[in-house]
Amino acid sequence: MFDAVIVGGGHNGLVCACYLAREGLKVAVFERRDILGGACVSEELWPGYKLSTGAYVISLFKEKFIKELKLEEYGLKIYTKDPTIFVPFSKGKYIFNWVNPKKTKKEFERFSKNDARNYDKWREFWSIFVDFLDFLSLNPPLSLYEIEELFKFFRKINLKIKDIEVNEFLRVFLSDAKTILDEYFESEEVKASLVEDAIIGSMLSPSSPGSAYLLAHHIMGEVNGIKGAWGYVKGGMGGLIDALRKAAENLGVKIFTSSEVKRIIVKENKVKGIELENGKIINSKIVVSNADVKTTFLKLLDDVPKKLRKRIELLKSRGVCFKIVGIIEELPDYVGLGKNLGPQHISSTLILPSLDYLEKAYRDAINNKPSREPFVSINIQSSVDDSVTVKNHHVFSLFVQYTPYRKDWDEMKEDYAKNVIETIQNYAPNFKPLKYFSLSPLDLERRFAFPQGCIFHIDMTHDQLYNLRPLPELSNYSTYISGLYLCSSSTHPGGGVSGIPGYNAAMKILEDIKAKRVNI
């Protein structure tokens, strides 16, 4: 008998388990795969090479969790990715974005002096807005109708956040990234270097309403004390999971891999535990599902009310991502900058020459076709971490968009992977993988249980955020079933390797235990 069992050993499930165990609960985690981590994993597809087959960079994972769970003591090390972005263009042109804003401004000056001057204003605007989002993310999801009252509270206690007005917040929440980029910048190259976070993982183009909010969601992170920075985890993304596993086990959490959950047991509207695929029953007074909301309610639960079942079926999960990981012998020679290790190999290199390029790629997906000229983010983790590769070789990760979910991906996957590689060769002709492994949206669904390959579980659109995520009656991590909670990316504040849904769910459970809304 456990006090709480976690369905799924992804990063959110492990964070939730750790915080519950810290308060003395007897906790167990059950993971269907033979490795922990969900999509936050390092997989040795070929001996000696550690590939981040799912998530590939880190920023959103809270420093608070790293400190409170002592993850650095358990081996977590993050390398700051600096420069953050490199974008090659035609005719030998390129642009860098650096952690140091002064260096970035010098890059922008090569394209527009006005843009260099406006970069400080851009950073100031988003820093205030992101502080606000950061506060909201670590609290129960609110309704947008409550925003005015929240701002009044901030003004009363004289927080810096008071400098943002409600209407400005709502404008960003409802607006598109292109409009706001156009407001600050004139150079297409500068705008191309800043737009990635507004579309990543979503069926949104830069001109789609809601893309400005998605940009804010992705820039509210922090690495090694540097706000807005991104990094590579030593040993691949599985390095985070290794540290979380050690922290959890040290707190007494029992972890079971190759233990797929068949169903969540409910009697008289109260959870009683889980049944594994092998028929074993695990008794528990609390069950926390780290599976996506569709798997939880449509596959693991019996007798879900018909109306609720239908609404969950209708939640948007539009996968648009294609992944390729592999090995290269020599570093890409981008626009003639050379094969020797340089800043262009440490950064995320974006095949994204303009906002119009993204719009065109998006239109292909709207017609249910993978982008003929795709957006590609190229990350070479071995540029800073030699523990993931063997001598004289590098490992890479390609994140590709837009590739809509289709049932015929198995037939066209290899041809599309070749198209992606040829797209990169337009900027680095020597990019010729020795080996590579492709994951279509269909593969992402099979491997990581992403509904329709959606990396956020459900889309991060206006109608699926805050108190609407995943649905109003399921938005505060608890459910209509006593003792059943949710902690996956399907819940507030959404996707990415943040650990926030897991932490928030744990806080809700502990609050309910204290208030005796649930007994252990």
3-52 per-position pLDDT tens digit: 999 999 999 999 999 999 999 999 999 999 999 999 999 999 999 999 99
Q: Which amino acid is at 113?
A: K
Distance CA 284, CA 259 (A): 16
Give strand pairing partners of 398: 324, 378
DSSP H or E segment with residue 103: helix 101-109
Task: Write the CB contacts of 338 (distance below 8 Å, at least 6 apart in sequence).
Answer: none
pLDDT below 70 — which residues of the chain? 148, 150-151, 153-165
CA nearest 481: which of 278, 280, 308? 308
Percent helix, strand, coil in the chain, to 5, is 40, 20, 40
Q: Contact 487/9 with Cβ under 8 angstroms?
A: no
Going through 217-258 in order, the beta strands assigned E by DSSP cover 222-223, 226-227, 231-233, 254-256
Q: What are the backbone angles phi and psi of residue 224, rounded to the nearest 5°?
A: 50, 40
Distance CA 322, CA 319 (A): 9
H, E, C per residue of 29-48: EECCCCCCECCCCCEEEECC
* pLDDT at residue 73, rounded to an integer: 98
* pLDDT at residue 157, rounded to an integer: 56
* pLDDT at residue 136, rounded to an integer: 87
Q: DSSP letter string over 325-375?
A: EEEESS---GGGS-SS--HHHHSEEEE---HHHHHHHHHHHHTT---SS-E
Place of tokens 């998605």: 214
The two three-digit tokens of residue 432, written as one number: 């010729």
CA nearest 445: which of 477, 475, 487, 403? 403
Distance CA 77, CA 63 (A): 12
Task: Write the CB contacts of 246 (distance below 8 Å, at least 6 apart in sequence).
Answer: 74, 75
Architecture of domain 2-38+237-316+453-514: 3-Layer(bba) Sandwich (3.50)
**Could you tell me where the DSSP H helices lie in 435-496?**
441-448
- In this prediction the pTM is 0.95
CA nearest 198: which of 58, 426, 362, 52? 362
CA nearest 223: which of 63, 71, 11? 63
Distance CA 401, CA 363 (A): 12
> What does DSSP say about strands 2-7 and 281-289: parallel, antiparallel, or unpaired?
parallel
* pLDDT at residue 162, rounded to an integer: 52
Distance CA 379, CA 344 (A): 10
Distance CA 105, CA 98 (A): 9
Place of tokens 């059943």: 484
Domain ranges across the chain: 2-38+237-316+453-514, 100-225
Distance CA 57, CA 350 (A): 14
